[in-house]
Each structure stands twice: as structure tokens, then as C-alpha cells.
């Protein structure tokens, strides 16, 4: 059974700092890995999707990497802003189009 | 373009009562998902539809949960009777289909259920 773990569970940083969120998964037989953002009381918004054959994806200040063989992914956020405060979820897609999510990292960026 | 719409946004019921959630996916999206998200955890898939067909319902507690997607558009998820442990956020998501390699799921805001 696929298990996804995210570290740390919570992170608080001052505005402007660069930061890294970590995700690990137990079964490397994945189709893709996605990073989502969830704001309080709202649904999930897809940030980046990395296919299993890719190593990284970038969108603005966000960069996600994937090392499938070691079962690891990182989400790098550059020059963090208070508006980045949210919960960040990592999910891997396995056979049957099933997404398995981690428990998330709750990020707070302080002005 | 409207996103995934869910209603109600909040629901408070007493245990043993029935409850139903409604989802309207993004227009043209053939695949629809229902997830349950417990507090402090990631979402867990309950059921996935391809058009009208439930193609993955292995994690749906069938003794009390049921779902339907008539005409392959809107969907309802029902719990009868509800238990205290059913308190969670129920998320609906949709995606285009499985013909492409990339399959981004678009999530609705969820229905927050509290069972007393």
C-alpha cells in the first residue's frame, strides 16, 4: 500500500525567506506526483504536476523536484510572502488513477 | 468558467440521521471523484466515476455510504445513517478524462460535516 509522508508538519518563517517542503513515498511505481495548496475552509488547488519521467517542474517562485528511485520530492518556495501561508499537500498517482495524499505541511509566512 | 460546485458548504446533523452532498463538476469533465478529508490529514478517495460508471469504489464504506452520478454530470454522495466518525470534509473533484498523460484534478470547496 502506498504511503506518503510530509515533513515538517508545520513551518513558520519570516517573509522573504526561501524554504523547502519535503515529501516521501514508499512505492516508486507512480505515474506522477502533484503538489497542492489548500487554504482554510477551501478545496485544493493544483500547483505543480511532475510526470514520473520528469525530474522537476517550475512555476513562478515554485520549483518541485522528483527523485522517483528514492521516493522523494521537494517543493522549493523562493522569497516567501504572507500570501503563501496555507497547507501544502503532496500526492502521488498510482495505478487506477488513484491519488494518495500526504498529511500536509502547514506553512505560515510572517510579515 | 465556473469551478467545481458543492453544496451545502456546511452541515450539522445528529448521529443516525441521513445526509446528502451534491457536486456539479466542471463542464465537460468526464471523471468525478469524491474524497473524505479528516482533520489534519490529506484527502482519501471514496469513489471515482468515469461518466456514469463507478470505476473505483473500493474505499467506499458500502454499508452506509452510497453515491450516484446520473447522466454523467452531477453527483450525490449519501450517508445513512451517519456516525460520529463521519465528521469530516467531503471534497468533490473532476478531471477531463484519462486519454492524456497529465490528469489535473480540480477540487471543489468541500462540504464540512459535523455529526453530533
The 10s digit of each residue's pLDDT in A32-85 is 999 999 998 888 999 999 999 999 999 999 999 999 999 999 999 999 999 999
Residue B25 at interface with chain A, using a CB cutoff of 8 Å: no
pLDDT at B98: 60
pLDDT at B21: 97
pLDDT at B61: 92
Separation CA B33–CA B90 (nearest Å): 10
Strand partners for A10: A106
Backbone angles phi, psi at A47, to 5 degrees: -100, -55
pLDDT tier for residue B102 given thresholds of 50, 70 and 90? low
Mean pLDDT of chain B: 91
Q: Give me the half-sphere count of Cα atoms (radius 13 Å) on the Cβ side of residue B37.
A: 31
For residue A49, the chain B residues in CB contact (below 8 A) are 102, 104
Lookup result for grid cell 509566512: A109
Q: Which of A6-20, B36-50, B96-110 has the lowest mean pLDDT?
A: B96-110
Check pLDDT > 60 for residue B112: yes
| End-to-end Cα spacing for chain A | 41
Collapse the DSSP code of B29 into the 3-class scheme (helix H, G, I; strand E, B; otherwise coil) and give the result.
coil
For residue A43, the chain B residues in CB contact (below 8 A) are 4, 91, 93, 107-110
Backbone angles phi, psi at B16, to 5 degrees: 80, -5
Pairwise CB contact (< 8 Å): B56 & A104: no
Check pLDDT > 80 for residue A96: no
Residue A64 at interface with chain B, using a CB cutoff of 8 Å: no
Of A41, A42, A89, the CB nearest to B42: A89
pLDDT at A41: 81
Check pLDDT > 50 for residue B101: no
pLDDT at B100: 46
pLDDT at B1: 63
Residues 6 or more apart whose CB falls under 8 angstroms from that of B30 comprise: B50, B51, B72, B95, B96, B97
pLDDT, tens digit, for every residue of B18-64?
999 999 999 989 999 999 999 989 999 999 998 999 988 988 999 99
What percent of chain B has a predicted confidence (pLDDT) above 70? 94
Amino acid at each position: 500500500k502506498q504511503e506518503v509522508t510530509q515533513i515538517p508538519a508545520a513551518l513558520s518563517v519570516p517573509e522573504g525567506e526561501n524554504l523547502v517542503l519535503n515529501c516521501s513515498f514508499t512505492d516508486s511505481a507512480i505515474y506522477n506526483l502533484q503538489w497542492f495548496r489548500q487554504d482554510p475552509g477551501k478545496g485544493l488547488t493544483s500547483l505543480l504536476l511532475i510526470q514520473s519521467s520528469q525530474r522537476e517542474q517550475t512555476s513562478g517562485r515554485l520549483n518541485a523536484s522528483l527523485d522517483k528511485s528514492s521516493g522523494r520530492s521537494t517543493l522549493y518556495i523562493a522569497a516567501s510572502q504572507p500570501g503563501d501561508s496555507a497547507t501544502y499537500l503532496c500526492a502521488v498517482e498510482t495505478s487506477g488513477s488513484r491519488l494518495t495524499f500526504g498529511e500536509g505541511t502547514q506553512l505560515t509566512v510572517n510579515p | 468558467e465556473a469551478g467545481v460546485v458543492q453544496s451545502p458548504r456546511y452541515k450539522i446533523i445528529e448521529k443516525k440521521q441521513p445526509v446528502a452532498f451534491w457536486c456539479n463538476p466542471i463542464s465537460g469533465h468526464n471523471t468525478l471523484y469524491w474524497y473524505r478529508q479528516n482533520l489534519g490529514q490529506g484527502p482519501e478517495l471514496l469513489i471515482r466515476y468515469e461518466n456514469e460508471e463507478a470505476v473505483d469504489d473500493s474505499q467506499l464504506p458500502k454499508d452506509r455510504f452510497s453515491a450516484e452520478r446520473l447522466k454523467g454530470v452531477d453527483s450525490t454522495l449519501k450517508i445513512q445513517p451517519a456516525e460520529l466518525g463521519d465528521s469530516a470534509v467531503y471534497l468533490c473533484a473532476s478531471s477531463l478524462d484519462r486519454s492524456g498523460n497529465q490528469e489535473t484534478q480540480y477540487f471543489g470547496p468541500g462540504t464540512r460535516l459535523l455529526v453530533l
